């Protein structure tokens, strides 16, 4: 088996009331075992649409993974379609029935016919027992094809996948390994990063693929490699990653799932440095991100949300005349805020942000999105000016990212 597809069933997903996290989870797990997910689709609770998807996907892919529509109510019709698709009658599985009965008994719920019906499975399938719910998973292997059906409840689907399907697939998927390596960058736009890296062929050498994935926090670079063996795939990924580091290393703050706050926290801890924050327009978001990391007490001393002008003067000792002469959103005030928080907290680093989050409050001279980020340390005080003309929450996200990145580069001697 080499190719796979995912079918998600449910009107609630189709109309956007529920986010399709199941497809995301399956995509990751299937890639890890060497299956390439070529296509995913969402289908409503309509018999003909589900049947059409089954026929098309089994004809074109080695493995099909179906989630959703296995509940006890009238709109859950997936099992009926599956049985018809394989020409199998529904029969009662005693082990599933016992599982349903036990789970209901523990909740003091009587066993009704609608619950008993959940023990019906297509004859000839391999039952994937659901120890986290009442609807079992079902597995069919026909003519070299692999067809798995699972509940749509995320934690039930994930556990069935992890306990039953992943070990089985590791045995069946041979001769193909897929590796994804993610490099996280910030402080550089997608287009600028593309130009900096140059001709992709020089980096990839025809051995890998590279995707640019931008967000308000930066650009993730995903290296994808398909090879015959794990050692070969890892070697190619290492080679490509090294070439990217050579060209854009100063913008890369981590690999994998490590976020900037965690990478910065590790750096501060290694260097034995402490930090305190004075936040205005971000309302404590930067402090929140830093303290989300376990062990942050080793380097985070305090965070002050000095939102008003009065707070800047009273708590941070920003001279009132600076605010009168230059305004709260200014290079001068940002510098004074960073110096003030560092002085009163006696930390190695003082970090400040002051800006206009919008959508109101901007002027021609100081538009919405303007922000100053200040940092004060033993080498002096530096203030960076940015403009993030986004909606309010994205503005705060981008400002917090820029502020944390300024600290990282300052500590590394890059800023």
Note whether 71 and 194 are same-domain residues. Answer: no
Average pLDDT score over residue span 151-157: 96
- Number of structural domains, the chain? 3
Task: Pick the closest to residue 71 from 10, 138, 12, 151 (CA basis).
Answer: 151
Confidence of residue 254 (pLDDT cuts 50, 70, 90): very high
Confidence of residue 101 (pLDDT cuts 50, 70, 90): very high
Confidence of residue 147 (pLDDT cuts 50, 70, 90): very high
pLDDT digits (tens, 9 = 90+) for 279-333: 999 999 999 999 999 999 999 999 999 999 999 999 999 999 999 999 999 999 9
Among 196, 221, 255, residue at a domain's last position: 255
Lowest mean pLDDT among 97-106, 188-197, 367-376: 97-106
Residue with tokens 């296995």: 70
178 beta partners: 226
Residue with tokens 């005693």: 94
What's the sign of the alpha-carbon dihedral 359, 365, 371, 376?
negative
Note whether 215 and 290 are same-domain residues. Answer: no
Q: What is the pLDDT of residue 29?
A: 96
- What H or E segment, with its residue span, contains residue 322? helix 320-326
Helix count and strand count (H, E) for the chain:
17, 17
Q: What is the pLDDT of residue 265?
A: 98
Q: What is the pLDDT of residue 400?
A: 98
Sequence-ordered strand ranges (E) for 252-361:
252-255, 275-279, 300-305, 349-355
Q: What is the pLDDT of residue 228?
A: 92
Note whether 199 and 265 are same-domain residues. Answer: no
Note whether 13 and 91 are same-domain residues. Answer: yes
Note whether 159 and 185 are same-domain residues. Answer: no
The residue segments making up the domain with residue 233 are 177-255
Question: In terms of C-beta density within 10 A (0-12 exposed, 13-18 middle, 19 or more buried), how is residue 33 classed?
Answer: buried
Among 152, 172, 192, residue at a domain's last position: 172
Note whether 137 and 202 are same-domain residues. Answer: no
d(CA 108, CA 239) in angstroms, rounded, equals 59
Task: Pick the closest to residue 185 from 402, 410, 414, 413 (CA basis).
Answer: 402
pLDDT digits (tens, 9 = 90+) for 208-219: 999 999 999 999
Q: What is the pLDDT of residue 74?
A: 85
- Is residue 25 a contact partner of residue 151, using CB atoms and an 8 Å limit? no
Note whether 183 and 158 are same-domain residues. Answer: no
Q: What is the pLDDT of residue 50?
A: 98
Question: In terms of C-beta density within 10 A (0-12 exposed, 13-18 middle, 19 or more buried), how is residue 176 classed?
Answer: middle
CB neighbours of residue 409 within 10 Å = 16
Confidence of residue 338 (pLDDT cuts 50, 70, 90): very high
d(CA 410, CA 389) in angstroms, rounded, equals 25
Q: What are phi and psi of 171, to 5 degrees?
A: -80, -30
CB neighbours of residue 86 within 10 Å = 16
Note whether 216 and 104 are same-domain residues. Answer: no
Confidence of residue 388 (pLDDT cuts 50, 70, 90): very high
Note whether 10 and 130 are same-domain residues. Answer: yes
Average pLDDT score over residue span 107-116: 90
> Could you give the percent of the chain with pLDDT greater than 70?
100
Among 205, 227, 255, residue at a domain's last position: 255
Note whether 200 and 328 are same-domain residues. Answer: no
pLDDT above 90 for 415: no
- Give the CATH number, domain containing residue 271: 3.90.950.20
pLDDT above 90 for 143: no
- Give the CATH number, domain containing residue 187: 3.30.70.2860
- Give the CATH number, domain containing residue 159: 3.40.980.10
pLDDT above 90 for 73: no
Note whether 299 and 400 are same-domain residues. Answer: yes
Q: What is the pLDDT of residue 1?
A: 86
Q: What is the pLDDT of residue 213?
A: 96
> Could you give the percent of the chain with pLDDT greater than 90?
95
pLDDT digits (tens, 9 = 90+) for 13-41: 999 999 999 999 999 999 999 999 999 99
Confidence of residue 175 (pLDDT cuts 50, 70, 90): confident
Note whether 250 and 102 are same-domain residues. Answer: no
């Amino acid at each position: 088996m080499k190719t796979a597809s995912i079918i998600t069933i449910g009107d609630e997903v189709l109309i956007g009331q529920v986010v399709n996290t199941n497809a995301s989870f399956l995509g990751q797990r299937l890639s890890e075992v060497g299956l390439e997910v070529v296509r995913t689709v969402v289908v409503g609770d309509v018999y003909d649409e589900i049947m059409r998807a089954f026929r098309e996907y089994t004809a074109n892919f080695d493995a099909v993974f179906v989630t959703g529509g296995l509940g006890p109510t009238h709109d859950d019709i997936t099992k009926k379609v599956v049985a018809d698709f394989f020409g199998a009658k529904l029969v009662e599985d005693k082990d599933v029935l016992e599982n349903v009965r036990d789970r209901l008994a523990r909740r003091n719920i009587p066993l009704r016919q609608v619950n008993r019906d959940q023990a019906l499975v297509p004859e000839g399938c391999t039952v994937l027992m659901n120890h986290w719910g009442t609807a079992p998973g079902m597995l069919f292997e026909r003519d070299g094809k692999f067809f798995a059906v699972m509940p749509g409840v995320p934690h039930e689907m994930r556990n069935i996948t992890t306990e039953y399907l992943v070990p089985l697939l590791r045995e069946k998927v041979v001769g193909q390994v897929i590796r994804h390596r993610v490099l996280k960058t910030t402080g550089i736009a997608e287009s600028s990063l593309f130009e900096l890296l140059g001709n992709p062929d020089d980096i990839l050498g025809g051995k890998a693929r590279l995707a640019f994935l931008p967000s308000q926090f930066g650009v993730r670079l995903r290296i994808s490699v398909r090879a015959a063996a794990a050692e070969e795939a890892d070697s190619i990924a290492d080679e490509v990653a090294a070439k990217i580091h050579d060209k854009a290393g100063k913008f890369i703050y981590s690999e994998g799932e490590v976020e900037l706050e965690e990478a910065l926290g590790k750096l501060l801890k290694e260097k034995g440095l402490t930090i305190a924050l004075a936040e205005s327009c971000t309302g404590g978001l930067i402090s929140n991100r830093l303290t989300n990391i376990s062990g942050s007490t080793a380097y985070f001393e305090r965070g002050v949300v000095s939102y008003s002008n009065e707070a800047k003067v009273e708590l941070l000792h920003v001279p009132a005349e600076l605010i009168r002469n230059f305004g709260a959103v200014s290079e001068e005030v940002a510098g004074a805020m960073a110096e003030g928080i560092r002085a009163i907290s006696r930390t190695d680093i003082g970090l400040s942000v002051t800006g206009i989050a919008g959508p109101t409050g901007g002027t021609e001279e100081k538009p919405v999105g303007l922000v100053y980020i200040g940092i004060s340390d033993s080498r002096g005080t530096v203030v960076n000016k940015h403009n993030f003309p986004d909606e309010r929450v994205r503005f705060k996200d981008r400002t917090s990212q820029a502020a944390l990145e300024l600290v990282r580069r300052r500590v590394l001697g890059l800023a």
